[in-house]
Amino acid sequence: MPCVDSLAHRGIIRAGFETIDNVLNGNKKIKILFVCMGNICRSPTAEGLFRQLLLQRRLHDRILVDSAGTHAYHVGNPPDVRAREAALRRGIDLGGLRARQVCEEDFFDFDHILAMDRSNLADLRMQCPAGCEDKLGLFLDHAPHLEEREVPDPYYGGPAGFDRVLDMIEEASHGLLEYLEERHFRIRSIS
């Protein structure tokens, strides 16, 4: 099945590759994909919050963020209204986002594919082409201060669950950004 909503299809990158000029000039964007089951609660929340953090840190031109679901239940739909309301209370607008499903091209297009829970990670591993496994991980691995390793799905709960998810995502987003800055953007001295 072709990926009709991949980065290449939307014109964000061409044919799965950065332009050679960007690579040679050190302008290659780091691409992050957040993944949950339906792409209407946790992963769009992570996308919106992380994008806001990138804007605040002036890294939005160096890191590209997207989100997707492992299942096609809600393709084309906006994030859950409760997720949008919780995010808006923190100044994050998720209104322009639409759910999409992970496709094979994503495994080649993205540098880091971060699952919200172990079930999402298992689904990703089953789809993952050979050679792309090292791109997969749990998002909360970037939040070592949290006891939880999974972002719980707030879909069947109330508003407090969406606020708790935002707290967890915020913690992991700061940890992820520190990791990316250290790995990709720090200038290391030669000793």
Residues 20 and 140 sit within 8 Å (Cβ to Cβ): no
**What was the pLDDT predicted at 3?**
66
Residues 174 and 53 sit within 8 Å (Cβ to Cβ): yes
Place of tokens 């929340």: 45
Is 61 one of the annotated active-site residues of the chain? no
- Report pLDDT digits (tens) over 28-47: 899 999 999 999 999 999 99
Q: Per-residue confidence at 184, pLDDT binned at 50, 70, 90? A: confident
Q: Which of 5, 41, 42, 128 is catalytic?
A: 42
Is 57 one of the annotated active-site residues of the chain? no
* Domain locations along the chain: 20-183
The CATH architecture annotation of domain 20-183 reads 3-Layer(aba) Sandwich (3.40)
Q: Say whether pLDDT at 13 is over 70.
A: no
Q: Per-residue confidence at 8, pLDDT binned at 50, 70, 90? A: low
Output the CA–CA distances (angstroms, integers) from residue 153 to 70, 111, 124, in the order listed: 13, 24, 17
Place of tokens 């780091």: 30
CA dihedral 137, 141, 147, 149 (to 10 degrees): -10
19 residue type, one letter: T
Distance (Å, rounded) from C-alpha 84 to C-alpha 143? 23
**What was the pLDDT predicted at 65?**
98
* Of 15-29, 52-66, 94-108, 122-136, minimum mean pLDDT range: 15-29
* Of 13-17, 50-54, 155-159, minimum mean pLDDT range: 13-17
Q: Say whether pLDDT at 110 is over 90.
A: yes
Tokens of 48: 């919106």
Distance (Å, rounded) from C-alpha 19 to C-alpha 35? 26
Q: Which of 5, 36, 66, 106 is catalytic?
A: 36
Is 36 one of the annotated active-site residues of the chain? yes
User: Angle, nearest 10°, between helix axes 81-88 and 159-180?
Assistant: 60
- Report pLDDT digits (tens) over 135-182: 999 999 999 999 999 999 999 999 999 999 999 999 999 999 999 999
- The mean pLDDT of 71-95, rounded to a whole number, is 98
**What was the pLDDT predicted at 189?**
43
